[in-house]
Structure 1
């Protein structure tokens, strides 16, 4: 019995033991870069489709507290930089689908719409 125990202790370091990999850490809380949202955007308001949206968005009236200041472009072709969105009426033609919530504490990002194209910006957290 002692010989088996000694043999087992000798071979233990050479046995293939499974290792558990650590989970990767993300830079932001959502793990995505919301500054890359531009182009055709569909604003979803139906709670049934909340889980299909990329982000939860709160539309803020104050520019000072918004994560993104967004300019609404009338032409989809010109919505080619961060903070410039073409709000599409059809979900099928959207590059990004965002769910609009009325609760600020549940939102991933806050958005303020501006009338000046040059003031469109993204403020990373």
Structure 2
């Protein structure tokens, strides 16, 4: 069940704690779709699906413990922040991969889809990796 909440800064947000499994990517995409639909921002559903899939996949692959937290926050009229929080303190990094490797491109995809508007917040107990999408279609770098 998704929890609809207002963040401490007054911004509307949808959040859900999920098991750290590959199946959680589907649930995270549904959460993003629900939030975007409620906010009238369905035009960015496709990039949001791609970004949240990559963020969740990274957490599933690299994090520790059994759960992750997915949050979709409306940062402004046309800006949405997708975030995944896990209990690992290892920060993500964009990797250079060759054409033969089957994985390692996720953050490069996130970087391209968001125009570089992504990052990570290190916490005492883990980290939050976030990415922002702009519904105006303009990618700011």
Measured against the shorter chain, the TM-score band is under 0.3
With a CA cutoff of 8 Å and minimum separation of 6, indicate the structure with the bigger relative contact order.
1
TM-score, length basis structure 1: 0.28
> TM-score if structure 2 supplies the norm length?
0.26
